[in-house]
Structure 1
Amino acid sequence: MSMPPPPMRTRVTELLGIDYPIIQGGMMWYGRAELASAVSNAGGLGILTALTQPTPEALAAEIARCRDMTDRPFGVNLTILPSITPPPYAELVEAVIEGGVTVMETAGRSPRDLLPRIKAAGILVLHKCTSVRHALSAERDGIDIVSIDGFECAGHPGEDDIGGLVLIPAAARALGIPVIASGGIGDGRGMAAALALGAEGVNMGTRFCATREAPVHDAVKQAMVEATERDTRLVFRTYRNTGRVLRNPIAEQVIEAERAGAPFEDVRPLVSGARGRATLETGAVDDALVWGGQVVGLIDDVPDCATLVHRIVTECRQRLASATALAA
């Protein structure tokens, strides 16, 4: 194995205690110990996903399992969603605290009500936002780092449709806390661009899905390799909960139903979490929504996480040096 590149230094690496300012997105079903530990061992920050686990006790066990696989920092994602019967968020936070985790990534609704307990435990909080106004609100609430999600991203890019080329510098200009760029980043070129735009690190979700350690079927990873930048679709637009997924028959069915004015209850059987999880396990990529960002157009291999992270850091430095030479 080749020597890893020298560490990079930004406020993000200093706050998180990592070698490179590369954070693995907290993705449902993907965010398990195998992937999180591999990213952390590579010098980035791996993220477990709390809601992937069925109970707070299961999350505690997964944290312990991850700790057995890495002695580097890793985080836990907690996505706060509107729900009639919400998950036991407070108990999940306690599992994170008792597990000695030092970083939490929050997403969805504001973690405002949970922050006093989290911060009292000395945990650093990174919050994902899709707009500058929400990022400013997070900063006022005491969030330590904001991850700003551009329109290119997988998952839920919000409803403003602002791409990273505008959103990243807008956030960096407005905020005093560090900004992590998210959405559309999958190689060293994207990381170099993000740093040039004012970010101090990058968050990658889709790119880490197509790694050897990602705990999903190889057919899912191969679908991302084969996809082009035109092979994602936006679903749930009419429900004001836009999501970006890979183009497949289920995504097209959902979009057609939306065009016909169907209520969400009509498409719910097509988009259930259980159905999506089954696809990730079986590799039947046409049987459910498969979440993915436009960066699939830049994915052409399935490396291990160490190879990917080190390659990105090396290429980032090369691109920044080339750009500097052009400006000299």
Structure 2
Amino acid sequence: MKTRITELLGIRYPIIQGGMQWVGRAELAAAVSNAGGLGILTALTQQTPEALREEIARTRTMTDRPFGVNLTILPAVKPPPYAEYVQAILDGGIRIVETAGNSPRDFIDQFKAQGVKIVHKCTTVRHALSAERNGVDAVSIDGFECAGHPGEDDVPGLVLLPIAARALRIPIIASGGIADGRGMAAALALGAEGVNMGTRFCVTQEAPIHYNIKQALVAASERDTKLMFRTMKNTARVFRNAISEEVVATENRPGGCQFEDIRPLVAGVRGRAALEAGEVNGGVISAGQCIGLIDDVPTCAELIERLVRECREHLDRARGYFDSP
């Protein structure tokens, strides 16, 4: 395939693995890149910048294809040392960075000076336009269907993608709700030049997640996600389990709640432990509505080849609806 995204990132197929906390590690990133997509390491999954350097080096032992690093920049009372993580990315020779959360404005010049291509993840067109003005090379547009943080506007991809394609000059990547070739074909028809998948790549052989979690996602339907933190204007879409049910019930109790009331339930270390131990109700597990489309646990190579084949088939089928000239 050839789009501006494949040309920009030097990849065979315009398929990008989401930068998922606790999941974006060497094994998964290398498998996606080896299969022709773009694997992504998640910087903050590594507890220190030095650990990120080591993970980058470990990934290089598994693939000679391009891969990137996700750096999510979030407001915090005691934020991570973002500047040190940026330096670790540059020291590791990474040439593709996916940024998310707050604007990457403070680091754009530093990345550009080293020839790094920047993809910024957005949930609104206004933020995508701002990122374009700041000099990023592409944007990933998250629709309301996505796992993680879909923003507060609640606009699904079917509307958000064509609006973004109409407004932006730089290429866009569709994110949220995509798990098969039909969805990829739709995204391309709506104006995207690539797709980003998180939940679907969680349910692959190489994803560093316990088998029980993968099977729970296979068994789930599109109705088995939950929106948490709505009352705090920091919406997160996660898998519907005992933890997310309790969080939402606490948010909706008379008088509402403060974050401290739910902090023990949503602690990151608890979610990581659940993913690794296979405790489906042990912590928060991010998942998008596309879990309703997932019914197997393929290798990354099998999944990507299937996606491309199905995408071609569905685009060809759609062309057949027109009379021949």
Instruction: Output the TM-score relative to the length of structure 2.
Output: 0.98
Q: Aligned letter for 1:287?
A: G
CA deviations on 1:81-136 (whole Å, 9 max, x unpaired) are: 10111111111111111111110000000000111111111100000000000000
Gaps of 5+ in 2: none
SS in 1 for 2:321: helix
SS in 1 for 2:320: helix
Distance 1:145 1:110 in 2: 14
Flag as ranges the 4+ runs of structure 1 deviating above 3 A: none
Distance 2:106 2:298 in 1: 39
Deviation at 1:327, TM superposition (A): 2.2
CA deviations on 1:190-211 (whole Å, 9 max, x unpaired) are: 0000000000000000000000
Name the residue aligned to 2:188: 195
Deviation at 1:216, TM superposition (A): 1.1
CA deviations on 1:125-153 (whole Å, 9 max, x unpaired) are: 00000000000000000010000000000
Deviation at 1:262, TM superposition (A): 1.2
Distance 1:327 1:151 in 2: 32
Name the residue aligned to 2:151: 158
Distance 1:90 1:204 in 2: 27
Q: 2:128 is matched with which residue: 127, 135, 138? A: 135
SS in 2 for 1:20: coil
Q: 1:308 is matched with which residue: 303, 308, 320? A: 303
CA deviations on 1:17-66 (whole Å, 9 max, x unpaired) are: 00000000000010000000000000000000000001111000000000
Name the residue aligned to 1:114: 107
Name the residue aligned to 1:270: 265
Distance 1:99 1:75 in 2: 11
SS in 2 for 1:69: coil
CA deviations on 1:235-281 (whole Å, 9 max, x unpaired) are: 00000000001111111111110101011110010000010000001
Q: Aligned letter for 1:147?
A: S
Residue 243 (str. 1) matches residue 236 (str. 2): yes
Q: Aligned letter for 1:301?
A: D
Count of aligned positions: 321
Gaps of 5+ in 1: 1-7
Q: Aligned letter for 2:298?
A: P
Q: Aligned letter for 2:269?
A: A
Residue 172 (str. 1) matches residue 162 (str. 2): no
Name the residue aligned to 2:283: 288
Q: How does 1:98-109 map to 2 (within 5 A)?
A: 98-109=91-102
Deviation at 1:287, TM superposition (A): 1.5
Deviation at 1:228, TM superposition (A): 0.2
Name the residue aligned to 1:209: 202
RMSD value, Cα = 0.5
